[in-house]
Every structure is written in structure tokens, then in C-alpha cells.
Chains A and B, each alone.
Chain A
Amino acid sequence: MASTQDLSVFVRHGANGTAGMELAVDGIRCAGCMHAIEDGLSREAGLLTARVNLALKRVTVEWREGALRPEAVVERLAALGFKAYPFLPGGQEDADSREERRLLRCLGVAGFAAMNIMLLSVSVWSGNASDLEPSTRDLFHWLSALIALPTAAYAGRPFFESAMRALRAGGVNMDVPITLGVVLALGMSVVETWHHGQHAYFDGAVMLLFFLLIGRYLDQLMRRRTRDLAGNLAALKAEAATRLDADGNAVSLPIAAIAPGDLVLVAPGERVGVDGIVEQGRSELDQSLVTGETAAFPVAAGARVYAGTLNLTGALRIRVETVGAGTLLDEIDRLMGQAVESRSRYVRLSDKAARLYAPLVHATALATFLGWIAFGLAWQQALVIAITVLIITCPCALGLAIPAVQVVAASALFQRRVMLKQGDALERLAEVDTVVFDKTGTLTLPEAEILNAEAVPGNHRAAIGALAAASRHPLAQALAKALNAHAPAADTREYAGQGLSAAIDGADCHLGSIAFCDAQAQAEAARAEHPDASFIAWRCGDERVVIAIGQKLRPDAAETVAILKQRGLDVLILSGDRAEAVAPVAEALGIAQVRAGLLPGEKLAALDRLAAEGRKVLMVGDGLNDAPALAGAHVSMSPISATHLAQAAADVVFLGDGLLPVAQSIAIGCRARKLMMQNLWFAVLYNAIAVPIAVAGLVTPLIAAAAMSGSSLVVTLNALRGRLNPSKEA
């Protein structure tokens, strides 16, 4: 079929006659790949620059307008051995990276100010201990104020704005005590300096901002990194569709460029990328990604087809539809909306801490103020002590406690080819006590395989493959794929509904149904061994073979289930497939609690029931029918082979054929949560020691500075322990 590719939607046109494009590239693993791509692309005439971003696995190319077709870049990369997928950086992405840059700028300013003020402060502290002239001290304090006040006005804005938002909404968050602490510390220091006082807290206030900005930046970095990866995933998964123009020309376009009302051609073996109505053609569809059902489903003109199904036997012309009421996608969309609502009730650990923390801090400061007045101190002095309490309790360590652990744990997961899409998924993973698996494509490999490979005679493999490739029957197609046969046999004779035959090496060979090949005896034996499989028979001369075809378990599925059980987790299967197909899988894995034949809504209801029992469920699934359950579960995971919608609904996506990442993720999540809790308890301990000293009025700026940097350092170092001891997991 002559179809041209059109990628012009992805090209961005820059100033002075250049054009550019971003590509997500599959398979950039090392520096060698980076060099290969850059060298290879630089040989392309007309290309101005090609730059690989190794951290993000992306390539940015620029060329002179008109000198090059964008498709040539993709072709060139394919020739180099890399699959590239163009994509448009979304608007959300821009907003996030703007926020990140702003935080980094604030961090830079706060860092500069903290260092310079500390330089002045250390001089004052050592001078106070010896014989500093008051006028010099005043000069140093005024210089500090000169640096600190503009810095706080600039670098403190992220906190001030967030605190204002919280107050306006009638709530209190962590930023309220931070804002109060910083503003009061600066105000008090200016007043002290005015009155030639000995102590000023400019260094404390700015250092506080510096440390808190580090925590805030790590948090944002985590969010952007998970989102970047999600963006890459979306680009990697975006299939192309073939659009038929009015004059019958076929053009291959990315799905993003297809509009409702377009006519799309889907060849046999292609995945349907759109929802629509079949206008012309007759075929069978593999709906396993959509419903979990493994048997092929026949369609003809007028039938409705859904994105994600696989076209098996015949070419289809499909009229693209808008997603209207009553379609499967719409139904799943609605269920997902419901499910996400229940999810949003989850309160992050950091927010929980903030809710406890803010009122406690304010109450302590107020009690200190009133207490000292009752004790007979002048109100000015009492106020100074109350403010030092606010400064010393400022959640320096708290602000770092969770983001630092998250960043470390996320990179540990990334090394194991697991991608977090939500930062708080780590905390939720740690709470899991029940694991629910989907069957098709999750416990089993996404593609059908030969189950009794030992029965296939080695000397006939090529012949069987060639014959299978000549057939359009879904079973034969799966067989051809499993045998890696691409070239169909010549001169085959097809017997409708039975099979096909060809003369191979002088012998008359048949491939088809069991009756067609007269192989009932062999079929009995194969059926006893693989009760849930589909069968295809082969006869060549007197030799008869029955090949069982079905979904194979993922290689380490049994091991993973065993590890999960060992951790004390309940393991369940909720499948949309027939009970007969699910039972053998459950038996092989030793899973007792199984439910089969579930609709998407029933899966979600089953999860809701589990949640009502007080269980925290990890849902692992890949199909369109799993998407509502994935969105509704306490936390959810999807393999990379899953449908877009399932991946969009999942918190975590894992790569590779194995299922072990599920167990590893839970282990890393538990470890991360343990470290977070340790950090939070350390922050409590720090306050338990520091607050009485502050309440007693004994805190000097030197003590405040040492306590703040010390606690932040301890918390960060503790978070880094998440990187150590990878052997302890799983």
C-alpha cells in the first residue's frame, strides 16, 4: 500500500528560517547511543543541529526551513537503529518547567544571600565573643539587612503566595508558619539593629528560605521528571493512523491529527487507533486489551470498533466518531471520573504533618509570649522570645524530609525500569495490603504464544511458519508470529473454514483444524495438557502434530506472586475473561481468590467493596476495561504494553516482560515510607530539644543557625540511605 507519512503537525517554526522538532527516542541507553545519533544525524544535509538529551531520552533537531522533510529525520534515525516518535511538548509541560526555573532562580538568590550574610554574621559572632566595636557590628547588621530584605522579598514569594492562598481559602498549610517566621524574624532584626542590639536573625531567616527552597525544588523536580517520563511514554505509544482522503489517497498521520468524520484504513495486523463505525470490510478483532476476552470477535460493516483492539484478518475502513454518549470509551471515562473522586480523598503524608504542625507551632509561640508576660517580662522582650520560638520551629527539616526521600526512591525505581507517574504513589505503595491482578496481558504476556513448543518438530518449523503466514486466520497469524515467519508459502490452496495445504518437499502438507488434519488422537493429549488453549493441527505425510496456542504466563509471574504472599499480602485475580480461561492461570500461580467474566464497572465495584472492608488495594492491569479500576484503586500499576487509557490511569508504569517490578516497587515504597517516617520523627525530636531552649529565651542567632543547618543535613543524609542496600529489597 502506497502511503506517505506526514509529520508536519509536530514541526515548530522558529525565527530566521529554521524549523525544529522534538523526538522521544526509544533505546537511548548509553553515551554510545548519544554519539551514534548525533554523528549519524549530522551527516544529513540541511540539518543544522541535532542534540540528544540523555537524561530525558529525547532528541532536538533543527534544520533550515524547506531543506529537509521532517520524515527524513525519523527515517534516518530508523536507519541508525533507533525508533523515534515526534511529539509536541504540551502546555502543562511549559507551565511546570517555568515554575521549576523560577524556584531555581529563587534558590540561587537565596543561596547567594545566605552565604554573604553568613560571612557577616560569623564576623559578628566571633566579634561578640571578643571586642567588637558596636559601630562595626551595626554596620554589619545593616549590610546584612540590605542583602536579606530584597532577598526575602524575591526568594520568599513561593511561600508567601502559597500561604496567602491557604489563608484566603480559610485553611492553614506549612507555608503559613514559614511566612510568619521569616517576616517576624526580619522585622525583629531590623528593630534590633535600629536599637543597636546585639542579636539579629537575618542569617537565620535567609538560610531558612534557602533550605526550604531546596526541598520545594526537589519536590518540583520530582513532579516534572515523572511528567516528562509520562510525556515520553505517551509519544512512544502514539500510533499512526492511515487516513483516506476524498480522492482515495492514503496518508499516514499521527493519531493527534485525526479528526472525527475522517475515514481511516486499518490493515490486518494493525491496532485500531480510533473509535468509530466500520464502513466497509469484514474482519475479526482481538479485543483482549479492551475487554480481557481472548477469543477473536467478528466485525462487519456497521459494527462499532474501539481504539486499542487489534485487527486480525481483513482490511477495515472506519469512519471516526466523536466520543458520544453510550460508547464504551465514554462509559469507561465516566467510571474513571467517579473513581478518581474517591482517590482524591487520600491525604499526603506531608500534608498530614502540616495539619498537625502549624497549629502546634502557633500555639507554642503564643503560650511563650503570654507566659513570659505573666512571668513579669516587658512585652517587647516577651515578643522577641516568642519570635525566636517561631524561627527555631520553622519546618526546615520537615520541608526536606519527604521530597528528598521521594527523589532518591524515584531514581532507584527508574534504575529498575519502573516509572512513577505520581510522586505520592510511593507512600501509597507502602500501605498496600492486597494486590489485585488482571489476567490477560498482565499475568500473561500480551501476545499469544505456542504453549507446547516441544511438540513442534524442529525440521518442520520453517514450513509450518510459511504456511501459517499465508493464512489470515487469527490463530495462524499468531502461530506465524511465534515462529518468526514472515514469508508466506507459495502455491497454497485454501479450504474455507478448515485450513490450507501446500506441497512442501514433494509431500502434501496441511495446516488447519483438527478434523482437517485428521489428528484427533494428538488433540486429546494436547487438550489434557492445555485445557484453556486454542489448537491448530499440522499434517505432513503421516506425521501429525497438534499445536496449542494461548497466553503464556509472564516469566517471573509465579515468583512475584510468591514474594507478594511472603510479604503477607493478599493476592486476587479480577478478570474480564471466561472462567475456564482464568482458572488454569490461577492454579499455576497458586491464587485462590479469583473472579472472572467481570465488566469494567463490576471490577470497580469489587475494588470498592475491598476498600469498604478497609483494605488498601494495589491494582495491576493493562486493559481498557481495567482503566476505571486502576483509577479507583488505592494505587495502581500498568505494564508498558497496556492501552493508553490504562497507562494514563495508573500511578506507576513498568517496562519489560517480567512482573517482578511489582514486588520491587512495593519493597522500595515501603523503604521510602520508612525513611520518610524516620525523617519526620527526627524533626519531632529536633523540636523536642530545640523548643524548650527557645521558650526559655536562651537561643542566640548562632544556635538557631547551627540547629537549622544541622537538622537539614541529617534529614538529607538519611534520605540518601534509600540508595544503599539494593539487595535488601523484594
Chain B
Amino acid sequence: MNIIAILLPLALALGLAGLGAFFWCMRTGQFADLEGAGWRVLRDDDLAARDEEARGREAESRSP
């Protein structure tokens, strides 16, 4: 039965962590736009930046 002494606080702590995460989401406005967020994932503007970086490195390696 000693296992309860570990499991119960663990369950509560996990629940509280979830509650904390929920409050954090609300405070930072994660629920403000439920439609847009799904589409933002599909943007690849970060890729463009990385491509440029890669091209820059390529140019460096080619020059003697």
C-alpha cells in the first residue's frame, strides 16, 4: 500500500501541471485565434532563411 504515497502525489502533481499549462495558454492568448494557428504551421518562411544560409555556406566552401 506504500505505493499510494508515491502515486497519489504524482497524480495530483501531473494534474496541477496540466492546469498550470492551461492557465499559461490562456494568459498568452493561445486560444485567441483557433482557425489561424492551424494554417500558420504550413508557412515555410523559416525555410527561406535557412536556404539563404545554406547557399551562403556553399559559396564560402567553393571559394578557395
With contacts A116-B11, A136-B1 taken as known, whether A53 is within 8 angstroms of B43 at the C-beta atoms is no
Q: How far is the CA of A179 from the CA of B4 in the complex (A)?
A: 34
Q: How far is the CA of A109 from the CA of B19 in the complex (A)?
A: 7
A108 touches B35 (CB 8 A): no
B16 touches A54 (CB 8 A): no
> Could you say which residues of chain B place their CB within 8 Å of the CB of A143?
8
Q: How far is the CA of A522 from the CA of B51 in the complex (A)?
A: 70
A112 touches B33 (CB 8 A): no
Q: How far is the CA of A147 from the CA of B12 in the complex (A)?
A: 10
Does A721 have its Cβ within 8 Å of any Cβ on chain B? no
Does A55 have its Cβ within 8 Å of any Cβ on chain B? yes
> Could you say which residues of chain B place their CB within 8 Å of the CB of A104?
26, 31
Does A612 have its Cβ within 8 Å of any Cβ on chain B? no
A116 touches B15 (CB 8 A): yes
Q: How far is the CA of A31 from the CA of B44 in the complex (A)?
A: 13
Q: How far is the CA of A104 from the CA of B24 in the complex (A)?
A: 12
Does B56 have its Cβ within 8 Å of any Cβ on chain A? no
B22 touches A34 (CB 8 A): no
Contact with A54, one of B8, B39, B45 (Cβ below 8 angstroms): B39
With contacts A31-B36, A34-B39, A136-B1 taken as known, whether A101 is within 8 angstroms of B15 at the C-beta atoms is no
Contact with B along A41-72 (1 / 0, CB 8 A): 00000000000111110000000000000000
Give the interface size class of chain A: 20 to 34
Q: How far is the CA of A115 from the CA of B17 in the complex (A)?
A: 13
A35 touches B43 (CB 8 A): yes
Does A105 have its Cβ within 8 Å of any Cβ on chain B? yes
Does A303 have its Cβ within 8 Å of any Cβ on chain B? no
Cβ < 8 Å to B, chain A residues 80-124: 101, 104-105, 108-109, 112, 115-116, 119
With contacts A101-B26, A105-B23, A136-B1 taken as known, whether A55 is within 8 angstroms of B36 at the C-beta atoms is yes
Q: Which of B4, B16, B39, B45 has the most CB of A within 10 A?
A: B39
B11 touches A119 (CB 8 A): yes
Cβ < 8 Å to B, chain A residues 1-46: 31, 34-35, 39
> Could you say which residues of chain B place their CB within 8 Å of the CB of A54?
33, 35-36, 39
Q: Which of B1, B22, B26 has the most CB of A within 10 A?
A: B22
Does B32 have its Cβ within 8 Å of any Cβ on chain A? yes
Select from chain B the residue with minimum beta-carbon distance to A113: B15
Select from chain A the residue with minimum beta-carbon distance to B38: A31
A52 touches B15 (CB 8 A): no
With contacts A34-B39, A105-B23, A136-B1 taken as known, whether A112 is within 8 angstroms of B18 at the C-beta atoms is yes
Kindly provide the distance from the CB of A232 to the nearest chain B CB, expressed in whole angstroms: 14
Contact with B19, one of A35, A56, A112, A136 (Cβ below 8 angstroms): A112
B12 touches A116 (CB 8 A): yes
Q: How far is the CA of A34 from the CA of B8 in the complex (A)?
A: 46
With contacts A53-B32, A56-B33, A104-B26 taken as known, whether A112 is within 8 angstroms of B16 at the C-beta atoms is yes
A31 touches B19 (CB 8 A): no
> Could you say which residues of chain A place their CB within 8 Å of the CB of B59?
none
Q: Which of B4, B11, B35 has the most CB of A within 10 A?
A: B35
Contact with B42, one of A31, A112, A147 (Cβ below 8 angstroms): A31
Q: How far is the CA of A109 from the CA of B26 in the complex (A)?
A: 13
Kindly provide the distance from the CB of B19 to the nearest chain A CB, expressed in whole angstroms: 4
> Could you say which residues of chain B place their CB within 8 Å of the CB of A55?
33-36
The main secondary structure of chain A at its interface with chain B is: helix
> Could you say which residues of chain A place their CB within 8 Å of the CB of B11?
116, 119
> Could you say which residues of chain A place their CB within 8 Å of the CB of B35?
54-55
B36 touches A108 (CB 8 A): no
Q: How far is the CA of A108 from the CA of B40 in the complex (A)?
A: 26
Q: How far is the CA of A109 from the CA of B22 in the complex (A)?
A: 9
Contact with B36, one of A34, A39, A101, A112 (Cβ below 8 angstroms): A34
With contacts A112-B18, A116-B15, A143-B8 taken as known, whether A105 is within 8 angstroms of B34 at the C-beta atoms is no
Select from chain A the residue with minimum beta-carbon distance to B34: A55
Select from chain A the residue with minimum beta-carbon distance to B19: A112
Q: How far is the CA of A582 from the CA of B29 in the complex (A)?
A: 52
Kindly provide the distance from the CB of A213 to the nearest chain B CB, expressed in whole angstroms: 13
> Could you say which residues of chain B place their CB within 8 Å of the CB of A52?
33, 36
Select from chain B the residue with minimum beta-carbon distance to A146: B12
Select from chain B the residue with minimum beta-carbon distance to A31: B39
> Could you say which residues of chain B place their CB within 8 Å of the CB of A112?
15-16, 18-19, 22
> Could you say which residues of chain B place their CB within 8 Å of the CB of A116?
11-12, 15
Cβ < 8 Å to B, chain A residues 277-291: none
Cβ < 8 Å to B, chain A residues 122-140: 136
Select from chain A the residue with minimum beta-carbon distance to B8: A143
Q: How far is the CA of A108 from the CA of B30 in the complex (A)?
A: 15
Q: How far is the CA of A147 from the CA of B31 in the complex (A)?
A: 27
Kindly provide the distance from the CB of B34 to the nearest chain A CB, expressed in whole angstroms: 6
Contact with A53, one of B15, B18, B36, B39 (Cβ below 8 angstroms): B36
Contact with B along A530-554 (1 / 0, CB 8 A): 0000000000000000000000000
Kindly provide the distance from the CB of A60 to the nearest chain B CB, expressed in whole angstroms: 9
> Could you say which residues of chain B place their CB within 8 Å of the CB of A105?
23, 26
Kindly provide the distance from the CB of A272 to the nearest chain B CB, expressed in whole angstroms: 37
> Could you say which residues of chain A place their CB within 8 Å of the CB of B36?
31, 34, 52-55
Q: How far is the CA of A42 from the CA of B15 in the complex (A)?
A: 40
Nearest 5 pairs of A and B residues by beta carbon: A31-B39, A54-B36, A54-B35, A53-B33, A112-B19
Q: Can you report 29 residue pairs joining A to B where beta carbons are below 8 Å apart?
A: A31-B36, A31-B39, A31-B42, A34-B39, A52-B33, A52-B36, A54-B33, A54-B35, A54-B36, A54-B39, A55-B34, A55-B35, A55-B36, A56-B33, A104-B26, A108-B22, A108-B23, A108-B26, A109-B19, A112-B15, A112-B18, A112-B22, A115-B15, A116-B12, A116-B15, A119-B11, A136-B1, A136-B4, A143-B8
Known pairs A34-B40, A112-B16 / 17 extra A-B pairs, C-beta < 8 Å: A31-B39, A31-B42, A35-B39, A35-B43, A39-B45, A52-B33, A53-B32, A53-B33, A53-B36, A54-B35, A54-B39, A55-B33, A104-B26, A108-B19, A116-B15, A143-B8, A147-B12
